[in-house]
């Protein structure tokens, strides 16, 4: 009794103090940072595996995973140790020299993909820029025609630099930044006829996400990519896949194209590749990669020792015995089944459940923001995209009981909403 009467004001004091500190953080965040993100009023300070903690000590289960970045969970010990070791040895050297961890990483990516060569950069949008430049250069090198046009899809997302946002099929991403980079044609996703009509002598490449992530977890039909591949072959057009979100195990295979029984010519990677560290990559077959020669493309930080050390150990961990990939596929199915069940229970709220592996979306009849907020209050971080699609992109190490916990809470929230 005595202890608790003493303790509760003390705890309250500590709590108020942490709230005051957070308020100061958030005021300074507004004051000193450009206002490009609509952030939650939460300061995250620590993470381990599926969990993160905010500065006031609150624990969250993280179904956002840094937007499909933290594939091995937060602060995976092997990634942390590899970074510590590399940081003590060598942080950065120029690409004028050979870099050990960059070579190891390239070799691993090549040995586990369709590709023969890798180029490293620092983000997804840069990987897309690299892919676009490579496709244009390849056409210049090999075609007598003026081939430069790239066909992309409505609802796609390829990044925020000028060429990447010009490739993106969403007006809201492009608005205010015109004139856009010329040479992109947009067609409806998952419609082979639309691509066939858009193809011309000028087409050098088709650029698609295997599953549209930001666009609301939109799935292709079973034979779409096989048909796109055929069309590309018939017309000497390169197939570029944006695997920035779907790659590195997200769908239960190392790359999503493996589900479609096809091989692309170029892929762009980033997000999960570094296990939490910034790195991007362009992978291509030799016949295409050979269009990048000395001086045609480059990046000061691209493929630096630190980022490559993190990516190497991340890939090693993912590929060991296929353990995490198998588990991701199996648990993704379990997760999707539970969401489908939820749809049956709340048909007035859930329109559709979509996705593959641990890239799952739930389209709602209502806007997603209040659901995201209610989850946050209950200690679960989730993401909403396209206004009304709840998107789940947790670390691939997630286990059943964490999914059960999320479903219980969603049930409860939907229950309140349907009354």
Ligand X SMILES: *Cc1c(COP(=O)(O)O)cnc(C)c1O
Query: Looking at the annotation, which residues are catalytic?
Result: 157, 242, 271
User: Which lies closer to ligand X via its Cβ, residue 315 or residue 349?
Assistant: 315
Q: Which of 242, 265, 363, 402 binds ligand X (CB under 6 A)?
A: 242
Q: Which of 72, 135, 266, 270 binds ligand X (CB under 6 A)?
A: 270
Please report how close the Cβ of residue 120 comes to ligand X at its closest, in angstroms: 13
Tokens 């396209």 sit on residue: 386
Burial class of residue 24, CB neighbours in 10 A (0-12, 13-18, 19+): exposed
User: Which lies closer to ligand X via its Cβ, residue 169 or residue 338?
Assistant: 169
User: Which lies closer to ligand X via its Cβ, residue 26 or residue 181?
Assistant: 181
- Contacts with ligand X by CB under 6 A: the residue count is 15
Query: Pick from 226, 275, 272, 284: which is nearest to 247 by CA?
Result: 272
The answer to the question of residue 244 lying near ligand X (CB under 6 A) is yes
CA distance 24 to 46: 19
User: Which lies closer to ligand X via its Cβ, residue 73 or residue 213?
Assistant: 213
CA distance 128 to 243: 10
User: Which lies closer to ligand X via its Cβ, residue 241 or residue 406?
Assistant: 241
The whole-angstrom distance between residue 140's C-alpha and the CA centroid of its chain comes to 31
Q: Quick one: which segment of 124-132, 188-196, 326-334, 347-355 binds ligand X (CB under 6 A)?
A: 124-132
The answer to the question of residue 245 lying near ligand X (CB under 6 A) is yes
Residue nearest to ligand X (CB): 124
> Are 206 and 156 within 8 A, CB to CB?
no
CA distance 141 to 144: 9
Q: Which of 125, 251, 304, 317 binds ligand X (CB under 6 A)?
A: 125
Tokens 């641990």 sit on residue: 358
Q: Identify each DSSP E strand in 194-277 by its residue range.
A: 203-208, 238-242, 266-269
Please report how close the Cβ of residue 2 comes to ligand X at its closest, in angstroms: 55
Q: Quick one: which segment of 48-56, 94-102, 118-126, 249-257 binds ligand X (CB under 6 A)?
A: 118-126
Q: Which of 157, 184, 189, 292 binds ligand X (CB under 6 A)?
A: 157
Please report how close the Cβ of residue 201 comes to ligand X at its closest, in angstroms: 28
User: Which lies closer to ligand X via its Cβ, residue 130 or residue 350?
Assistant: 130
Among residue numbers 24 through 83, which ones bind ligand X (CB under 6 A)?
none
The whole-angstrom distance between residue 282's C-alpha and the CA centroid of its chain comes to 15
> Are 228 and 372 within 8 A, CB to CB?
no
Please report how close the Cβ of residue 241 comes to ligand X at its closest, in angstroms: 10
Query: Pick from 381, 385, 415: which is nearest to 217 by CA?
Result: 385
Among residue numbers 161 through 220, which ones bind ligand X (CB under 6 A)?
209, 213-214
Report CA-CA distances (Å) from 45 to 53, 55, 60, 78, 307. Answer: 6, 6, 11, 20, 22
Provide the angle, in degrees to the nearest 10, between the axes of the packed helices 77-89 and 305-319.
150
Residues 6+ apart with CB under 8 A from 356: 211, 219, 251, 252, 256, 259, 332
The answer to the question of residue 361 lying near ligand X (CB under 6 A) is no
Please report how close the Cβ of residue 304 comes to ligand X at its closest, in angstroms: 16
User: Which lies closer to ligand X via its Cβ, residue 212 or residue 291?
Assistant: 212
Q: Quick one: which segment of 4-12, 35-43, 74-82, 117-125 binds ligand X (CB under 6 A)?
A: 117-125
The answer to the question of residue 129 lying near ligand X (CB under 6 A) is no
Please report how close the Cβ of residue 67 comes to ligand X at its closest, in angstroms: 6
Tokens 């003390």 sit on residue: 10
The answer to the question of residue 149 lying near ligand X (CB under 6 A) is no
Residues 6+ apart with CB under 8 A from 164: 125, 128, 129, 132, 158
The answer to the question of residue 159 lying near ligand X (CB under 6 A) is yes
The answer to the question of residue 264 lying near ligand X (CB under 6 A) is no
Residues lying near ligand X in the complex (CB under 6 A): 123-125, 128, 157-159, 209, 213-214, 242, 244-245, 270-271
């Amino acid at each position: 009794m005595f202890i608790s009467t003493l303790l509760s004001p003390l705890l309250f004091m500590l709590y108020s103090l942490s709230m005051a500190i957070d308020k100061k953080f958030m005021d300074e965040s507004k004051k000193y940072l450009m206002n490009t993100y609509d952030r939650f009023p939460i300061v995250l300070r620590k993470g381990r595996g599926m969990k993160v903690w905010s500065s006031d000590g609150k624990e969250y289960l993280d179904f956002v995973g840094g937007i499909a970045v933290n594939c091995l969970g937060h602060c995976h010990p092997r990634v942390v140790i590899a970074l510590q070791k590399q940081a003590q040895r060598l942080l950065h050297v120029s690409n004028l020299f050979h870099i050990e961890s960059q070579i190891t990483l390239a070799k691993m990516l090549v040995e586990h993909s369709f590709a023969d060569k890798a180029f490293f950069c620092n983000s997804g949008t840069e990987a897309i820029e690299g892919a676009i430049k490579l496709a244009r250069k390849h056409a210049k090198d090999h075609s007598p025609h003026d081939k430069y046009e790239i066909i992309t899809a409505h609802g796609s997302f390829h990044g925020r630099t000028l060429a990447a946002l010009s490739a993106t099929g969403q007006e809201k991403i492009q608005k205010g930044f015109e004139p856009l980079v010329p040479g992109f044609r947009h067609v409806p996703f998952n419609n082979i006829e639309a691509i066939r009509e858009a193809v011309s002598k000028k087409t050098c490449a088709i650029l698609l996400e295997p599953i549209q992530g930001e666009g609301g977890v939109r799935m292709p039909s079973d034979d779409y990519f096989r048909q796109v591949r055929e069309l590309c072959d018939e017309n000497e057009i390169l197939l570029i896949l944006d695997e920035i979100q779907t790659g590195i195990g997200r769908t239960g295979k190392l790359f999503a194209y493996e589900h479609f029984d096809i091989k692309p010519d170029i892929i762009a990677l980033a997000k999960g590749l570094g296990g939490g560290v910034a790195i991007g990559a362009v992978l291509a077959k030799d016949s295409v990669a050979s269009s990048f020669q000395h001086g045609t493309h480059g990046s000061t930080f691209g493929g630096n020792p630190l980022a490559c050390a993190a990516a190497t150990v991340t890939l090693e961990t993912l590929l060991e015995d296929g353990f995490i990939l198998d588990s991701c596929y199996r648990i993704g199915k379990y997760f999707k089944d539970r969401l489908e069940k939820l749809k049956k229970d709340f048909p007035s709220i859930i329109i559709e459940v979509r996705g593959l592996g641990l890239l799952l979306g739930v389209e709602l009849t209502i806007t997603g923001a209040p659901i995201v907020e209610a989850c946050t209050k209950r200690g679960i971080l989730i993401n909403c995209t396209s206004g009304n699609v709840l998107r789940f992109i947790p670390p691939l190490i997630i286990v059943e009981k964490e999914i059960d916990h999320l479903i219980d809470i969603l049930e409860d929230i939907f229950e309140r909403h349907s009354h």
